[in-house]
Amino acid sequence: MKQQKNLFANLGADLPSGLVVFLVALPLCLGIALASGAPFFSGIISGIIGGIVIGMLSNSPLSVSGPAAGLAALVLGAITSIGDFSLFLCAVFIAGILQMLLGMAKMGGIANYIPGSVIKGMLTSIGILIIAKQIPHAFGYDKDEKGNITELMPYGNEDLHELLQPLQHIEVGVFLLCLVSILIMLAWDKPFIKKRAGFVPGALVAVIVSVVINEIWIKTGSALAVQNEHLVQIKAASSASEFFSFFTLPDFNGFMNGTVIVYGIVIAIIASLETLLSIEAVDNLDPQRRVTNTNKELFAQGVGNTVAGLVGGLPVTSVIVRSSANVNAGGKSKLSTIVHGMMLLISVILIPGLLNKIPLSALAAILLLTGYKLAKPAVFKSFWTAGKFQFIPFIVTVVVIIAVDLFAVFPAVSGKGLLVGVMAGIVAATGSILYGNLKNSYYFHSENHRDGDVIQVRLSEEVSFLNKAAIRQTLDHMPENSTVVIDASTTKYIDYDVLELIKEFRDIKVPLKNIKLTLKGFKDAYKIENYSQVQSVH
């Protein structure tokens, strides 16, 4: 009873914020289903589950879960590779079980072990993929429901007529509605409008305006009118039993399918990373600075995805767009996300006919701007200015994901671009770390001295076997008759192989080249005696 009282303690703030989140989520649920090549109803189902199921279990007071744009490219590739949506649902179920296990294993801090440059590269490539997949829907030249920018790219030695063929099939009305929707959303972000009508989401306004314009075109018999094939298509139920028949059950044969299992693992990894990143961002936005237990959040997300897999939903994550809308609308507790989920459920039951009037190009416009925000040029510039050790893992992640998922450069891993790209990014980041470690294993300095060259070699705090080659090369090229100082004063660890290398230099190379050697700062544990062959070393 106490928990119920606490849940409704901020009802006055949570009800209106839940309404705002609902208005933000409704077009996004439909748009992400479109981008994922999945039934529109599946996007709504995930929104409902994210609001009600995860909302009840989540430890986060302000996070809002639902289908995520960041998973759209992965889901599209999975459905295409698996070939059947009911089989794909098994992958969602597997992902949910794995997330529950991750939560119970207290792996909520897993995101801390993925380099930020790789995560940002993943999000940037997702933005590019979203844009690429929505351009055909924006033009009305979508030969399949999934959309693909390559539909607009002729290949081979086509003549001029074939090259211009895509342009001849562009629906002017569809494109105009997309353009109007983009302009409305851009205008809605301007301070003048944001101060006066910021409580109404620009995406919702764009959808409503596009519906009104198209209805006018239809009523007046305009050639610009957008036909049914370019509109949302959600089934309308005449009874409760018919409504429940719309839910898609998983084909349990998928649990014996290797491709399904692999995608389940990939979805679990990517969805968990996206959730943990979103949770961290939401906690920073929380005016009360409450801290979410990420282990409990992973478990809640796992339950949500398990349910989604059983009833025909898309994978669910914590979503920063809806969560930030919740914070900005004044939400105080998780009641607001539960309210938004209930409103989604009511809308799909009571007004499916109205939802079916929404043009796909209006949803494409929402996703185009979402993709741009993830992949805008400023992101590339920031990593370029951050230096090569940040830029290289970032750009490797982006290029590999795009090459695999958009242009199918590597057919063997087609549809698994996110996982392959993240792995490539981690390898690049590891390589950068190793390279930096090799370069910084010691400080090398040579200065003029009246008796010849004094060469200072100061070892860093950690000297591992990875530094052996670089140190060997330096010691092997010491000039004859020089004075060499090897300083280990600041070291905390020197690898055995490196110590043996220094001993070899002392015992063999120094007498051969008539080098005056000074060893200082070596600890007793290194079993190398500190000594100097010169009177004074500066």
Do 413 and 457 reside in the same domain of the chain?
no
The pLDDT score that the predictor gives to residue 60 is 93
- Do 162 and 262 belong together in one domain? yes
Q: How far apart are CA 224 and CA 430, in angstroms?
A: 54
Handedness of CA 31, 36, 40, 44 (dihedral sign): negative
Concatenate the DSSP letters of all residues of 362-420 into one string: HHHHHHHHHHHHHH-HHHHHHHHHT-HHHHHHHHHHHHHHHHHHTS-SSGGGTT-HHHH
Please report the pLDDT score of residue 11 as a whole number.
Answer: 80
My answer on whether 380 and 492 are in the same domain is: no
Sequence-ordered list of residues with C-beta below 8 angstroms from that of 198, at least 6 positions apart, any chain: 188, 328
Domain assignment present for 190: yes
pLDDT at residue number 119: 80
Question: Same domain for 60 and 144?
Answer: yes
Q: Is residue 287 part of a domain?
A: yes
Q: 232 and 58 in contact (C-beta within 8 Å)? A: no
Q: Clarify whether residues 425 and 466 are in a common domain.
A: no
Residue 538 lies in a domain: no
User: CA-CA distances (angstroms) from residue 127 to 57, 368, 370, 372?
Assistant: 30, 8, 7, 6
The tokens describing 19, both together, are: 């309404």
Residue 537 belongs to a domain: no
Write down the pLDDT at residue 519.
94
The region, left, alpha or beta by phi > 0 then psi within -120 to 50, assigned to residue 289 is left
Two structure tokens written together for 498: 């490196």
429, 453, 483: which is the final residue of a domain?
429
pLDDT in tens, the chain (538 residues): 444 446 677 788 888 888 878 988 888 899 899 889 999 999 999 999 999 999 999 999 999 999 987 788 889 889 988 999 999 999 999 999 999 999 999 988 877 777 878 888 888 887 888 888 788 888 887 655 445 555 444 444 444 444 445 456 688 999 999 999 999 999 988 888 878 776 677 888 898 999 999 999 999 999 999 988 889 888 887 777 788 888 999 999 999 999 999 999 999 998 998 898 788 778 877 888 888 999 999 999 999 999 999 999 999 999 877 887 888 778 889 999 999 999 999 998 888 888 899 998 998 898 888 888 888 999 999 999 988 888 999 999 999 988 887 776 666 665 667 778 888 998 998 887 777 666 555 555 555 544 556 888 888 888 877 778 778 888 888 888 888 999 999 888 888 888 988 998 999 889 988 888 999 999 888 888 898 877 544 4
8 Å CB contact between 456 and 448: no
Rg (CA), the chain: 30
Q: Does residue 319 share a domain with residue 227?
A: yes
Residue 324 shares a structural domain with residue 451: no
Calpha distance 414→255 (Å, rounded): 21
Can you give the pLDDT at residue 160? Answer: 45
Q: What are phi and psi of 484, to 5 degrees?
A: -120, 130
Query: How far is the C-alpha of 325 from the C-alpha of 24, rounded, in Å?
Result: 8
Last residue of a domain, one of 394, 429, 464: 429
d(CA 331, CA 337): 9
Which segments of 58-190 does DSSP mark as H helices, in order? 72-82, 85-104, 116-139, 160-163, 165-168, 172-188
Rounded distance, CA 123 to CA 379, Å?
A: 10
| Same domain as 517, residue 372 | no
- Please indicate, yes or no, if residue 435 is contained in any of the structural domains: no
Range of the domain at 64: 2-429
Structure tokens at 74: 């992965």
Whole-structure pTM value: 0.72
Q: Which residues contact 268 (CB under 8 A, 6 or more apart)?
A: 94, 95, 96, 98, 99, 102, 305
Helix 360-375 / helix 172-188 crossing angle, nearest 10 deg: 50
* Sheet of strand 516-520: strand arrangement: 442-449, 452-459, 483-487, 516-520, 531-532
Is residue 60 within 8 Å of 279, Cβ to Cβ? yes
For residues 337 and 55, is the Cβ–Cβ distance under 8 A?
yes
Domain end call among 429, 457, 491: 429
Report the Cα 315 to chain-centroid distance in Å.
Answer: 14
Residue 83 lies in a domain: yes
Tell me, yes or no, whether 445 and 413 share the same domain. Answer: no
Domain-located, residue 434: no
Q: Is residue 406 located within the same domain as residue 480? A: no
10 and 130 belong to one structural domain = yes
CB 40 within 8 A of CB 337: no
Assess whether 301 and 448 both reside in one domain: no
Residue 352 class from Cβ within 10 Å (0-12 exposed, 13-18 middle, 19+ buried)?
A: buried
Q: What's the domain count of the chain? A: 2
**Domain harbouring 522, CATH code:** 3.30.750.24
**Helix, strand, coil % in the chain, rounded to nearest 5:** 65, 5, 25
